[in-house]
Structure 1
Amino acid sequence: MNLSRRRALAGLALGTTLGAAAWPAAAQGGTAGYPTKPVRLIVPVGAGAAPDVVARLMAERLGALWKQTLIVDNKPGAGGIPGMSALAHAPADGYTLGFVPAAMATITPLIYKNPQFNPDTDLTPIATVGTSPLLLVTPASSGIKTLAELARHAKAQPGKVNFAAPQSNSLPHLAGEMVSRAGQMQLFFIPYPSPPAAVTAVLSGDALLTADGLPGLLPHIKAGRLRALAVTSDKRLPGFEDIPTVAETYPSFEAIGWFSLFAPAGVPTAVAEQLNRDVARVMQAPELVARLAEMGIYPRTGSVAEAREFYQAQRGSMKRIVAELGLQAQ
């Protein structure tokens, strides 16, 4: 992504999103002409972070569709607990929504003793907005070209091959642990304070493997410094068909980031259905699809029921890996 585009996205991330066209009347407890007042969109990360940028891109277009203001309310910190708790305890009237990254909805409730919200009883998924797969990369100088070669190399020296990831219990960390278990590699995990720090560890030779989203890795891949071994989605990515999926080596594997629109439990069904349709409508705009692709994010549409099924499947997957790894809530 060029510098001007980064500045444009950063500027958008700091702005307030406004709106524009009224909704049809929402029955079943909804207010006629919903929304008839500003809608609050809680984002449980800081302004300028990738989820915040995507949330504001979506909010800008939803507001234009509704002719109403969407107020983006950033509540970062503590694994997303401040934002998730605020969303969980808000009125279920459709005027407080949450733009939720995968980790906050699936990992945080498992690794914090008091997350202050229960995703199964306090929240309801409205729409899956997009997915963000990870790439597994190794130094190009390592000579390792496939996951099978990585597994052979790691098995030859169990516990001595380092895997770098940003922070313990992050999605890249758990994805790496899942690959390690799938291939019986016994990789040694080393936490780093941020994704760029983990990538630097691989570039410097302090670690043999890391996982990160496409934007942070592609410049190094294109420059020949890193080699992509696999992508963690269940299908190869458009434009990167030469990179195999992990599932091609270890069947049924999937570990992806994603973003979903949530509401407090009990939101009127008609409001949920309308939200779902309008999110799908704005997220399929060609210019937005292209912009998200630059960020390694792929829009995903489906009904409210499909959004809930997707969330439950993702939550179940994280529960299994956390249990298998013996991680304890802190």
Structure 2
Amino acid sequence: MSPSLARRRLLTAAASLAAAALLHSPAAWAQGPNWPTRPVKLVVPFPAGTAPDVAARLLADKLSQGWGQSVVVDNRPGAGAIPGMVAAARSAPDGYTIAFVPAAAATITPFVHKNPQYDINTDFVAVAPVATAPMMIVVDARSDVHNLADLARLSRSKPGKLNFAAAQVNSLPHLTGAMLDRLGKLGMFTVPYQGSPAAVNGVLGGDALMTIDGIAGLVQHVKAGKLRALAITSDKRLPGFEDIPTASETYKGFESVGWFGLFVPTGTPQPIVDAINAHTNKAMANPDLVQRFAELGMYPRTGSAASLKDFTQEQQQLFKRWVAELGLQAQ
């Protein structure tokens, strides 16, 4: 290569780097980012049909309308939500890949997996809270169990012989059931299933007495008369579900609530983070979306990126303590 050609290529590369730096400088974004200009991917690390998936699709629809660009839900299920979270963490930090993070992915996986391959605190930036999602404790509607007291009496009469269908090992429903078993001295045997639908089928098929999961994944079966709701895991009775008692009415202080939040890969420009936060808060305040979420037992939350970061760290400390109390070992 001639010296002149090498020099021209060097100057061209330098100019490209300078342009890229200018594009991502605060001054260049002062009037707001020119984003999105193409479809956005919303990575959901859980299977289709689960509570996180249902919530993500409802939000994606509203964001699509507001942005004038498609928001495509990309389901990446797997143990501990690891495949989906890793895929999102390794994506380009340009705002076109957003992680729809359920509670377990941020607060349980780090303590029950020796090598989760991602760190929610360093690989991601918190963007916006989405919703809280209390869970429901259910049994087959044909059973003689009508409340948690019935469940306790039956379980204690047959220690180790009645099964709790955990939607997935080391998931939020699993830990919630384990804590309930510990508090109530139920002596149930935990059977892990591959997701909520399989756990529900385990109860309906008579292989398990009880399961716990997000209301969104169970409410249709309750309304159809196939499952009976024994309790809700929030600390207060929920609008639209006032006839279902809380677990804390039987076990004082017991509460376990799922939640969802949006995160993006570290390095995503702050103006894009701010834009996603503003648009998400607007979507979650939409009356139609609020009503749709409420019908599924999910309750929208709005707030700053900082509030989600602080909340996530608080929840991490809570579940770190739970994991220790239950004696769970990282696998």
Q: TM-score range by the shorter chain?
A: 0.7 to 0.9
What SS is found at the alignment partner of 1:133? strand
Contact 1:155–1:185 at 8 Å: present in 2 too? yes
SS at match of 1:134: strand
Superposition pairs of residues 67-106 of structure 1, within 5 angstroms: 67-68=68-69, 70=71, 72-106=73-107
* Mapping 1:106-255, distance limit 5 Å: 106-255=107-256
Distance 1:125 1:227 in 2: 37
Structure 1 moving runs of 4+ over 6 Å? none
Bigger drift between 177-186 and 267-276 goes to: 267-276
Contact kept, 8 Å, 2:290 with 2:299, in 1: the verdict is yes
C-alpha separation between the residues in 1 aligned to 2:156 and 2:301? 37
| Of 172-181 and 149-158, the range deviating more from structure 2 | 149-158
In the TM superposition, what whole-angstrom CA distance separates every residue of 1:128-171 from its partner, at most 9, and x where no partner exists? Answer: 11222221122344433332332233334332332112232222
Q: Supply the distance in 1 between the matched residues of 2:91 and 2:194 (Cα, whole angstroms).
A: 32
1:45 aligned onto 2:45? yes
| Contact 2:46-2:81 within 8 A present in 1 as well | no
Q: Which moved more, 1:205-214 or 1:219-228?
A: 219-228
Question: Can you give the 5+ residue segments of structure 1 that lack an aligned partner in the other structure?
Answer: 1-25
| 1:257-308 Cα distance to aligned partner (Å, 9 max, x none) | 2221012235455543443222111122222223334444322222223222
Q: Which moved more, 1:240-249 or 1:259-268?
A: 259-268
Name the SS of the counterpart of 1:261 in structure 2: strand
Whether the 8 Å contact between 2:219 and 2:296 is mirrored in structure 1 is: no
Q: What amino acid is aligned across from residue 100 of structure 1 in structure 2?
A: V
Check the 8 A contact 2:139/2:227 in 1, yes or no. yes
**Residue in structure 1 matched with residue 264 of structure 2 by the alignment:** 263
Inter-partner Cα distance in structure 1 for 2:286 and 2:182: 39
- After TM superposition, the structure 1 = structure 2 runs for residues 273-312 of structure 1, keeping only pairs within 5 Å, are 273-312=274-313
Name the counterpart of 1:323. 324
Could you tell me how far 1:186 is from its partner in structure 2? 2.1
Residue 32 of structure 2 corresponds to: 33
State whether residues 97 and 263 of structure 1, in contact with CA within 8 Å, keep that contact through their aligned partners in structure 2: yes
- Give the Cα–Cα distance (whole angstroms) in 2 for the partners of residues 319 and 60 of structure 1: 34
CA distance in 2, matches of 1:268, 1:204: 50
Distance 2:203 2:226 in 1: 10
Alignment CA distance shift 1:33-1:68 (3 Å): farther
Tell me how far apart the structure 2 counterparts of residues 85 and 273 of structure 1 sit (CA, whole Å): 23
Contact 1:145 1:229 (8 Å CA) reproduced: yes
1:325 Cα offset (Å): 2.2
**Paired residue secondary structure (2:115):** coil
**C-alpha contact 2:42 2:60 (8 A) present in aligned 1:** no
Q: Residue type matched to 1:244 in 2?
A: P
For residues 299 and 111 of structure 1, the distance between their equivalents in structure 2, rounded to whole angstroms, comes to 28
Is residue 289–residue 299 contact of structure 1 (8 Å, CA) maintained in 2? Answer: yes
Whole-angstrom CA distance in 1 between matches of 2:203 and 2:72: 40
Asked if the contact 1:35/1:66 (under 8 Å) is kept, the reply is: no
- Please identify, of 170-179 and 30-39, the stretch whose mean Cα deviation from structure 2 is larger: 30-39
Judge conservation of contact 2:45–2:85 (CA < 8 Å) in 1.
Answer: no
User: Which amino acid is the alignment partner of residue 286 of structure 2?
Assistant: A
Q: What secondary structure does 2:281 align onto?
A: helix
> With structure 1 as the length reference, what TM-score do the two structures score?
0.79
- The one-character-per-residue Cα deviations of 1:229-254 (angstroms, maximum 9, x if unpaired) are 11012221211101111122223322
Q: Aligned AA for 2:162?
A: V
**Does the Cα contact within 8 Å between 1:180 and 1:187 map onto a contact in 2?**
yes
Determine the C-alpha separation between the residues in 2 that align with 1:128 and 1:61. 15
CA drift of 1:44 comes to 3.6
Q: State the alpha-carbon separation in 2 of the partners of residues 77 and 233 from structure 1.
A: 27
Q: Quick one: distance in 1 between partners of 2:67 and 2:220?
A: 38
Cα distance per residue 1:163-209 (max 9 Å; x no partner): 11223222221111111112122221122333233223333433222
Aligned equivalents of 1:222 and 1:42: distance in 2?
Answer: 30
Equivalent pair of 1:93/1:267 in contact (CA under 8 Å): yes
Larger radius of gyration: 2
- Provide closer, same or farther for how the CA distance between residues 28 and 91 of structure 1 changes in structure 2, counting only shifts above 3 A: farther
Question: 1:4 is matched with which residue?
Answer: none
Count how many residue pairs are aligned between Structure 1 and Structure 2.
Answer: 305
